[in-house]
């Protein structure tokens, strides 16, 4: 049965979260707008403001909702997570307060599945408690989005692995207690079978940050995205996660759900932009009349609402696909979920850019100023077009999955919808009915 309603009990939790984010967390965005400040565990803001808010979330039972109850989470399915993330997307601080911030949320899932007991005590438990943050290092300066170009390698030397190479845009590295890095361990096979995942504690000799890189709205030289260099970096053999060569399988533990979370948080940002657009049109007068009286402006508002609603339903449907796959274990369902996740990932950046641009445009010079959050919100669109795989890669995944089921037409020249061919077949099928009559194609 199709049903777009939300369970009343869960809706009450969403209502609480919505008010909590607006009243308690969004003020932090105004006071501390830096992109890396939420990750600074040594700062006074975290100790005196964030930690008490986290305790309220834990008391409410909404902490780390993406994780199973055995790890202190709620074990929510992807649909419920999508609805919660829609709210958290309004604020850059909210995911941190709710224990779902990237890359920590994905790293926690990796550690939960692949870490040994000692690693869980050392890294996973404080990460789940919110006492530390972490980094995921996969992208390289030379390889970019092409894993086939990865050159960072590890060689086994007795009871250790020795890592040499570079990683790029390793988010939150300056504040991280450890790094989970994808490194080539067998260069003689395709990288999808020759890369492995390692835990590397902060301060390990041979791991250094060349420089910190920020986003486009940050000052040069500032930023929490590390350009890392490994030079003879020795890591104990037990810090290997899973089996050698299993890095890509391990990475899928974190990437699929993360893409959905980013998409739904984009819905939250889009809703803020929609609210601002609606308010502006209802408030503003120009050339002696109300802005809301202008048809072109009303159409702009309608375009935003329609685009956002279509995208929101696409994300929720993708989340439902993932939940169904997890419930049934069916390979066909898993394949369908992968298709929908990639489609959502490809749609996210353009949707957010379009919606925020309209909001900026209707606000005029104020919309592109530093007195409104719109330029920063807009910048999230291009970033999401690159993070977790560029848009083009995910479009290609969608196309390949669709083509895998495609059957060539019997008539390869004119195709299966060729009207003269179909009309001839229809005449044969209904020959008795049409006896003595002339059929004209319409």
Whole-number pLDDT of residue 256: 67
Q: How far apart are CA 47 and CA 131, in angstroms?
A: 10
What CATH code is assigned to 248-404? 1.20.140.10
At residue 155, the pLDDT reads 97
Q: For residues 50 and 73, what is the distance between their CA atoms, to the nearest angstrom?
A: 19
Give per-residue pLDDT as tens, 418-427.
999 999 999 9
Distance of alpha carbon 211 from alpha carbon 229, whole angstroms: 10
- The fourth-level CATH superfamily of domain 133-245 is Butyryl-CoA Dehydrogenase, subunit A, domain 2 (2.40.110.10)
Tens-digit pLDDT string for the chain (442 aa): 678 899 999 999 999 999 999 999 999 999 988 766 777 887 888 889 999 999 999 999 999 888 888 777 778 889 999 999 999 999 999 999 999 888 898 898 899 889 989 999 999 999 988 889 999 999 999 877 678 889 999 999 999 999 999 999 999 898 999 999 999 999 999 999 999 999 999 999 999 999 988 888 778 877 788 999 999 999 999 999 999 999 998 987 776 677 888 999 999 999 999 999 999 999 999 888 899 999 999 999 999 999 999 999 999 999 999 999 999 999 999 999 999 999 999 999 999 999 999 999 999 999 999 999 999 999 999 999 988 888 999 999 999 999 998 999 999 999 999 999 999 999 999 999 998 665 555 5
**Quick check: do 8-101 and 248-404 share a fold?**
no
Give Cβ neighbours of residue 263 (< 8 Å, ≥ 6 apart).
82, 311, 315, 318, 344, 345, 347, 348
Q: Pairing between strand 133-137 and 160-171?
A: unpaired
Distance between CA atoms of residues 264 and 266, nearest Å: 5
pLDDT for position 74: 78
Taking the domains of the chain in order of start, what are their residue ranges?
8-101, 133-245, 248-404, 407-442
Distance CA(218)–CA(212), nearest Å, equals 11
Give the residue from 165, 162, 159, 351 showing the smallest Cα distance to 271.
Answer: 351
Which tokens is 428 given? 């044969």
The pLDDT, as a whole number, for residue 220 is 81
Q: CA distances (Å), 145 to each of 5, 150, 261, 386, 393, in order?
A: 39, 9, 20, 9, 8
Question: 85-104 pLDDT, tens per residue?
Answer: 999 999 999 999 999 888 89
CATH class belonging to 8-101: mainly alpha
pTM over 0.75: yes
Would you tell me the crossing angle of helices 78-88 and 247-283 to the nearest 10 degrees?
50
- Return the pLDDT at 337: 94
| pLDDT of res. 440 | 58
Size of the chain in residues: 442
What's the pLDDT at 97? 94
């Amino acid at each position: 049965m199709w049903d777009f309603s939300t369970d009343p009990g869960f809706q009450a939790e969403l209502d609480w979260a919505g008010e909590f984010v607006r009243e308690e967390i969004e003020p932090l965005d105004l006071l501390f707008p830096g992109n890396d400040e939420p990750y600074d565990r040594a700062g006074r803001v975290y100790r005196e403001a964030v930690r008490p808010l986290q305790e309220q979330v834990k008391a409410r039972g909404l902490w780390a909702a993406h994780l199973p109850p055995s790890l202190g989470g709620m074990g929510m399915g992807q649909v419920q997570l999508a609805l919660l993330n829609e709210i958290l997307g309004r604020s850059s601080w909210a995911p941190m307060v709710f224990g779902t911030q990237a890359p920590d949320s994905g790293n926690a899932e990796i550690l939960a599945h692949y870490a040994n007991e000692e690693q869980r005590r050392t890294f996973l438990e404080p990460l789940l408690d919110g006492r530390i943050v972490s980094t995921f290092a996969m992208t390289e300066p030379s390889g970019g989005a092409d894993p086939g170009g990865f050159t960072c390698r590890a060689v086994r030397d007795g009871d250790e692995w020795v890592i040499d190479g570079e990683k790029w845009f390793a988010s939150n590295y300056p504040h991280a207690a450890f790094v989970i890095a994808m490194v080539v361990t067998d260069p003689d096979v395709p990288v999808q079978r020759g890369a492995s995942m390692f835990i590397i504690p902060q301060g390990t000799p041979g791991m250094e940050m060349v420089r910190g890189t920020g986003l486009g709205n940050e000052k040069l030289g500032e930023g929490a995205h590390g350009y890392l260099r490994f030079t003879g970096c020795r890591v104990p053999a037990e810090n290997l996660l899973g089996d050698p060569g299993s890095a890509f399988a391990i990475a899928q533990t974190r990437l699929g759900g993360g893409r959905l979370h980013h998409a739904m948080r984009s819905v939250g940002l889009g809703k803020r932009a929609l609210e601002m657009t609606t308010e502006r049109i209802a408030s503003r007068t120009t050339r002696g009349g109300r802005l809301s009286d202008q048809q072109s402006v009303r159409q702009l508002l309608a375009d935003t609402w329609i685009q956002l609603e279509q995208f929101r339903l696409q994300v929720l449907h993708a989340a439902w696909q993932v939940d169904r796959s997890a419930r049934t274990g069916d390979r066909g369902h898993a394949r369908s979920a992968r298709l929908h996740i990639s489609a959502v990932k490809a749609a996210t950046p353009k949707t957010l850019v379009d919606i925020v641009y309209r909001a900026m445009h209707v606000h005029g010079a104020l919309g592109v100023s530093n007195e409104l959050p719109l330029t920063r919100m807009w910048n999230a669109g291009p970033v999401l077009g690159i993070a977790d795989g560029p848009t083009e890669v995910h479009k290609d995944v969608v196309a390949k999955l669709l083509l895998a089921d495609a059957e060539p037409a019997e008539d390869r020249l004119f195709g299966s919808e060729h009207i003269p061919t179909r009309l001839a077949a229809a005449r044969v099928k209904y020959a008795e009915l049409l006896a003595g009559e002339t059929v004209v194609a319409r």
